Amino acid sequence: MTTLPGTSTQPVWFVGAAYGKTDDQTSRFLSEGLWENGYDDKHLDLVRSMQVGERIAIKSSYTQLHDLPFDNQGNRVSVMAIKAIGVITENRNDGKRVSVDWAPLQPGRKWYFYTHRGTIWRVQPGDWKNDGLIALAFENAPQDIQRFCNAPYWKARFGSQGAGLQKFSWTRFYMAVADGLLEYRHNRKTLVAGLQEISTRVAALGYLDADTYPNGERGFVQDICPFTVMGAFNRQTTEINRQSIATEIAKFLGVDQPVPTSFEGVPVLHNLKSWFFPREIHRDADHIDSLWETFAAAIAYADSEGDQAEVARQEFAKAFDTSSGRPGVAWNLTMGLYWVRPWALLSLDELSRTFIRNTLAISISTNGPNKRCSATDYLQVVDILEPRFQEKSYPAHSFPELSLQAWSSEPEVILYNDEATQEELDTDESLEAGADTLTTGAYPVMPAYTLDDILKDGCFLEYAELESMLIRLREKKNLILQGPPGTGKTWLAKRLAFALIGARDIKKVRSVQFHPNLSYEDFVRGWRPNGQGGLALAEGVFMEVIKAALNNPDSTFVVVIEEINRGNPAQIFGELLTLLEAGKRTPSEALELSYPDAEGNRTSVHIPENLHVIGTMNVADRSLALVDLALRRRFAFIGLTPRLGDRWRKWVIEQGGVDAGLVQDIEGRMGELNAKIAEDERLGKQFQIGHSYVTPSELLDEGTTREWFIRVVETEIAPLLDEYWADTPASAKEAVVNLLSGW
């Protein structure tokens, strides 16, 4: 194989050698010196974009549960075997074939976790995951398994915290139950008989004894779909009942995974709408068959990799569309799919749809029956979310985490009685509607978030300092974090909000950035275009949070205002600036707003006790005016400074990959620079450079610390120093030279 120079920035192609379910073509490709696209209507433009000199590898993808070279903690792992590598020598521009100088690999090289379902994968160097894959394939470099295990997307399944402490450990049980049910696809009489026997011992299964047969008689269901079976322990009932039902079903199916002790992130069915089919007297003959087909296709698609994934995706989409418009199915189908394969398939129950649209800002198309999503719509959302989950700062990193966020922190209400009578279920509407109308019992509880969690997330302050901030926030209601650039003001503000709430509940934290064009009408209430050529009164962010806090007095809400002094706070808050004061958080201090509400009423408004405001302020920005004294009196101010001490050193070494032998050198250079800035009469301490500048946001590759620090100095710190010493550029140049001297 000929290796061409200049390949480090070129894309690398990982391609399959089997089309759908046909035979492996690897031997032919190697002997004929080519790679061939097996489709006449797919990937044509992608193949045409392949350039001579670019590297290419033949991959084979699959999933593996046992005999892995690391502890997979009982979870299935995506594997990609690299069978041959080569260089493209000719592109025939037909969208079908490229000539390749191949080198077979015997044995193949195995790559874990970060794989691709499609036939063609264009991998661009520059990301640590991509660079690692390319290095393994073409240089036989070992994969950093632990880094992948602890990356956000995989941490909940494979992280070093250990299987006993894993979040979402229920997922293994659910997948095992689904696998066990699949064995009964063509033996459903035995399955029904088993469920009927269990119902004689577990009263909560009595709701299955409510079918109406074609002859008008009533009794236990004579046929059942797998989603309804799994729904038996995913209804609005107590955790004890759920565990009891799950235990009996698992025993019947021969499932050896332990029954979950908690069900965090599991959506549940409405008790009166927990069948995925109508009564037999009103049911189409193929209704339950279609649900089994969708169930089997979902498992096949979720477990597929590489070349077979495209065929499995088509079969799943066809089955989905066949069953989704039937009575009793609706959005609940996506809930069932999520139970079956929670790491690969998404629930689009009502709460999850709201979270996806409002928090993640992803639209959900509804081109299916009854204004619900089609298979194409469903898979489009899945395709958008999966790469986003790998982003470190994304609100969720998996479908279970997304579901947990969506289903957490809902108010509790009285549950329906599990032992519903025949009369209560006597109308087919209760079973056939299939809508996911929800009550909110048995919701999973969002894990607590405390000051200790802020420290674990990478805060370099001391616990006592954080505790003091939280106390002041509780007392004063309003807090401003001020400091030089790079001291983590916004980062800390949001985490203080979570600690105040007691959970990482992003639905109770609203963020807004002040800027010169922001007005009272944007922030509080004002006229907005209504989309019909006119104007309508609309609530701003602050009024929306005020209303949420008033309607949920037992919950805490926080508004985080970034760069609070970049706008005109007195103008933006208007009359509500007075009501921010801790001593005026009462209805007796309520004031009328400048505008009436949408109904034309001029009702008085007050800010409730359970709403807090955290602002951030950059004290080094010369373009900003001094803070209004009225605003200053209503906020507690806490200064943040650069923190380059023990906590910082430990974090950047362990979490940032910074060379341990260079950490103190970096700290010393930054300390000298900050001392010079602080001593300068034209600047002062408020212009010092914060620790965020020299804290990697991603794990550095081994041996790259020096190059990383040079890039930070040249592209981030030097331009800032040029602004600081705009009148004396020699001072800025000297500071940069000192930072990099001998480096």
Amino acid present at 326: R
**pLDDT for position 8:** 66
The predicted-structure confidence for 438-477, as pLDDT tens digits, reads as follows: 433 344 556 788 999 999 999 999 999 999 999 999 999 9
* Residues 199 and 323 placed together within one structural domain of the fold: yes
* Residues 488 and 626 placed together within one structural domain of the fold: yes
**pLDDT for position 338:** 98
Q: Which of 639, 663, 686 is the last residue of a domain?
A: 639
Amino acid present at 623: S
User: Where does the pLDDT of residue 20 fall: very low under 50, low under 70, confident under 90, or very high at 90 and above?
Assistant: low
Alpha helices, H only, 183-253? 188-199, 226-231, 239-253
Instruction: Provide the residue range defining the domain that includes 407.
Output: 170-413+424-431
What does the alpha-carbon distance between residue 514 and residue 533 come to, in Å, rounded to a whole number?
28
* Residues 490 and 589 placed together within one structural domain of the fold: yes
The yes-or-no verdict on residue 316 having pLDDT over 50 is yes
Q: Are residues 500 and 492 in contact, defined by beta-carbon separation less than 8 angstroms?
A: no
What does the alpha-carbon distance between residue 409 and residue 386 come to, in Å, rounded to a whole number?
25
The yes-or-no verdict on residue 227 having pLDDT over 90 is yes
**Cα dihedral 93, 95, 96, 98 in deg (nearest 10):** 40
* Residues 266 and 296 placed together within one structural domain of the fold: yes
Query: What pTM does this model have?
Result: 0.75
* Residues 562 and 689 placed together within one structural domain of the fold: no
**pLDDT for position 75:** 87
Is residue 439 one of the residues assigned to a domain? no
Is residue 165 one of the residues assigned to a domain? no
What does the alpha-carbon distance between residue 341 and residue 174 come to, in Å, rounded to a whole number?
8
| Percent over 70 (pLDDT), the chain | 91
The predicted-structure confidence for 606-655, as pLDDT tens digits, reads as follows: 999 999 999 999 887 655 445 677 788 899 999 999 999 999 999 999 99
Q: Which of 639, 661, 681 is the last residue of a domain?
A: 639
Q: Which of 614, 639, 664 is the last residue of a domain?
A: 639
**pLDDT for position 166:** 62
Range among 39-53, 288-302, 394-408, 514-528 with highest mean pLDDT value: 288-302
* Residues 197 and 63 placed together within one structural domain of the fold: no
Q: Are residues 553 and 608 in contact, defined by beta-carbon separation less than 8 angstroms?
A: yes
Q: Stretch 565-592: mean pLDDT, rounded?
A: 90
CATH number of the domain within which 457 lies: 3.40.50.300
**pLDDT for position 743:** 86
Q: Are residues 14 and 57 in contact, defined by beta-carbon separation less than 8 angstroms?
A: yes
The β-bridge relationship of strands 557-562 and 611-618 is: parallel
The yes-or-no verdict on residue 160 having pLDDT over 80 is no
Is residue 395 one of the residues assigned to a domain? yes
* Residues 242 and 336 placed together within one structural domain of the fold: yes
* Residues 347 and 480 placed together within one structural domain of the fold: no
The yes-or-no verdict on residue 260 having pLDDT over 80 is yes
More confident residue, 98 or 360: 98
Coil/strand/helix, residue 564: helix
| Percent over 90 (pLDDT), the chain | 67
Is residue 465 one of the residues assigned to a domain? yes
The predicted-structure confidence for 331-347, as pLDDT tens digits, reads as follows: 999 999 999 999 999 99
The kind and range of the H/E element at 670 are helix 660-679
* Residues 664 and 523 placed together within one structural domain of the fold: no
More confident residue, 23 or 94: 94
Is residue 2 one of the residues assigned to a domain? no
* Residues 317 and 358 placed together within one structural domain of the fold: yes
509: nearest Cα among 603, 418, 409, 429: 409
What does the alpha-carbon distance between residue 622 and residue 530 come to, in Å, rounded to a whole number?
38
Q: Stretch 518-543: mean pLDDT, rounded?
A: 88
Mean pLDDT score across all residues of the chain? 88
The yes-or-no verdict on residue 733 having pLDDT over 90 is yes
Is residue 584 one of the residues assigned to a domain? yes
More confident residue, 178 or 621: 178
The β-bridge relationship of strands 34-36 and 636-639 is: unpaired
Is residue 440 one of the residues assigned to a domain? no
User: Where does the pLDDT of residue 162 fall: very low under 50, low under 70, confident under 90, or very high at 90 and above?
Assistant: very low
The yes-or-no verdict on residue 426 having pLDDT over 80 is no
Q: Are residues 114 and 387 in contact, defined by beta-carbon separation less than 8 angstroms?
A: no
Q: What is the count of structural domains for the chain?
A: 4
**pLDDT for position 111:** 97
Q: Are residues 690 and 488 in contact, defined by beta-carbon separation less than 8 angstroms?
A: yes
Coil/strand/helix, residue 296: helix
Cα torsion 632, 638, 644, 649: sign: negative
* Residues 406 and 505 placed together within one structural domain of the fold: no
Coil/strand/helix, residue 476: helix
The predicted-structure confidence for 44-74, as pLDDT tens digits, reads as follows: 999 999 999 999 999 998 888 889 999 998 8
More confident residue, 697 or 104: 104
The predicted-structure confidence for 413-422, as pLDDT tens digits, reads as follows: 333 333 333 3
* Residues 686 and 541 placed together within one structural domain of the fold: no
**pLDDT for position 446:** 66
Instruction: Give the chain's length.
Output: 743
Q: Stretch 160-170: mean pLDDT, rounded?
A: 65
Is residue 418 one of the residues assigned to a domain? no
